[in-house]
Amino acid sequence: MLEKKNTVAAVVLAALATSAGAQDGPVKVGFAADLTGACAALSEDGLNGAKIAAEEINARGGILGRPVELIVRDTQTKPDEGAKVARELIAKDRIDVLTGVCSSAVMLAESAVSAELKVPFYAAIGSTQRANIELYQPYFWQVQANATMEAYAAAEYVAKKPEWKKISALGSDYEWGHTSVAAFTERLKELRPDIAFADPIYAKVGETAMAPYITATLAQQPDAVFAPLFGPSLGATLKQGQGFGFFQKTNLVTLMTVDTLQSQGVSMPADNVYGIARAPFFALEQSPEVTAFIETYRAAYGEYPTDWAINAYDGLNFYAAVAEKAGTVEADAIIAALPQVSFDGLREKGLTIRALDGQMNAPVYVGKAAKVEGYDFPILTEVEKFEGAPLMPAEDLILQAREAAR
């Protein structure tokens, strides 16, 4: 009997503690990240950036006077596992906001859970435009340029090279590769009607024996090759292309974030590689905030921050700013406050979220890879920054795409 009473008392106490916790305890950030599997390296960097953001927010008094707590879970880069982990974080840990994801597939799975359970969810690494367009839900936003915007930026850059008259595409054979090639081609055709396009070539995801694809691409005799490849396939193309004279015969325009630059090291081709990046630390305006972050990051992790680390850092700080504006972390108030906040991040000032699709007007950087004194890995030089707003898909196009998807 006594035991039963105690149990009841414990349950009541626990209930009280939970309800009190929701108002006075820490602001809980659920970091459902792809810490193992294909996305592991990117997610780890993102987590490192978010940790620094959380420490700094806490040092200046937290969000609305409450400390920030990161609750980290691994999704194994699997959509079903991501959805499960997201549910657990929401149901058991009672998180206030969900983030951390890298893979597009896991991102869409987590976004569906966020919509169903009405918990805010933001992406700082994964960038599929489907989350903004066809599968948009009001509790979602993303703080970096989506894949379509990146492809548009690449098209704008390529358009400024009058000597490039024939373009090939070599992409990863899945949604991102295909939609990137489509968006790039569409924008570049508008900008430069004189350019000829060869048939796109696609390599299976994760392919590392790129020689046959390189040869097939070169057979098209392009002036430049737009290549939405990433990770192993990209690294293999850079290495193996050199043996085929790829970088003597043509130019490569591809995704080139800081982690890729680092892992290429000495084997980066000397010339003719152009990279698209999201937040290259060396090309950001070196404001006191940026230099301080680079120093803090290097002290903590012994390496330069990658694009993923910077965006995850910006992402959490942006959430803090939105919560301060809303005066609460309650989901609907956060969503209402979202488009009203103009945020000064590491990448630039005046970052905002468009209410229609949850897309931030985040910039895209394109530059030429080269070895530069002072870094033991190649960096991007002659970097051109493309403002986010003009790259964002037009509102009527989004509405049309949503209508078509329905």
Write out the residues near other proteins by the rule CB under 8 A. Answer: 36-38, 40-41, 44, 173, 199, 201-202, 204, 206, 208-209, 211-213, 215-216, 219, 231-232, 235-236, 239-240, 242-245, 259, 262-267
Q: Give the pair of three-digit tokens for residue 21.
A: 């916790």
CB 24: neighbour CB atoms within 10 A? 8
209 backbone φψ class: left, alpha, beta (φ>0; ψ -120 to 50): beta
> Least distance to other proteins from the beta carbon of 394, Å?
31
| Cα 218 to Cα 229: distance, rounded to the nearest angstrom | 16
| Cα 218 to Cα 186: distance, rounded to the nearest angstrom | 22
> Least distance to other proteins from the beta carbon of 266, Å?
7
| CB-nearer residue toward other proteins: 36 or 296 | 36
| CB-nearer residue toward other proteins: 245 or 327 | 245
203 closest CA partner among 222, 167, 230: 230
Report yes or no: 369 and 274 within 8 Å, Cβ to Cβ.
Answer: yes
| CB-nearer residue toward other proteins: 153 or 273 | 273
| CB-nearer residue toward other proteins: 177 or 231 | 231
> Least distance to other proteins from the beta carbon of 380, Å?
18
AA identity, residue 10: A
> Least distance to other proteins from the beta carbon of 405, Å?
25
Q: Give the pair of three-digit tokens for residue 87.
A: 């549910």
> Least distance to other proteins from the beta carbon of 10, Å?
38
| Cα 73 to Cα 283: distance, rounded to the nearest angstrom | 32
| CB-nearer residue toward other proteins: 242 or 381 | 242
Half-sphere exposure of 41 (CA within 13 A, CB side): 13
| CB-nearer residue toward other proteins: 49 or 393 | 49
> Least distance to other proteins from the beta carbon of 20, Å?
39
- Cβ burial, residue 116 (10 Å; 0-12/13-18/19+): middle
Report yes or no: 87 and 59 within 8 Å, Cβ to Cβ.
Answer: no
> Least distance to other proteins from the beta carbon of 170, Å?
10
> Least distance to other proteins from the beta carbon of 211, Å?
4
377 closest CA partner among 238, 210, 253, 171: 238
Locus of tokens 């995704």? 255
| CB-nearer residue toward other proteins: 197 or 244 | 244
| CB-nearer residue toward other proteins: 204 or 298 | 204
| CB-nearer residue toward other proteins: 21 or 212 | 212
Q: Backbone phi, then psi, for 234, in 5-degree steps?
A: -65, -50
Half-sphere exposure of 137 (CA within 13 A, CB side): 20
> Least distance to other proteins from the beta carbon of 327, Å?
39
| CB-nearer residue toward other proteins: 33 or 68 | 33
> Least distance to other proteins from the beta carbon of 101, Å?
16
DSSP alpha helices (H): ranges in 277-394? Answer: 288-301, 307-326, 331-337, 388-391
* Nearby residues of 368 by Cβ (< 8 Å), 6 or more positions away: 273, 274, 275, 380, 381, 382
Identify the DSSP state of 66: B
CA torsion, ordered 246, 252, 257, 262, to nearest 10 deg: 20
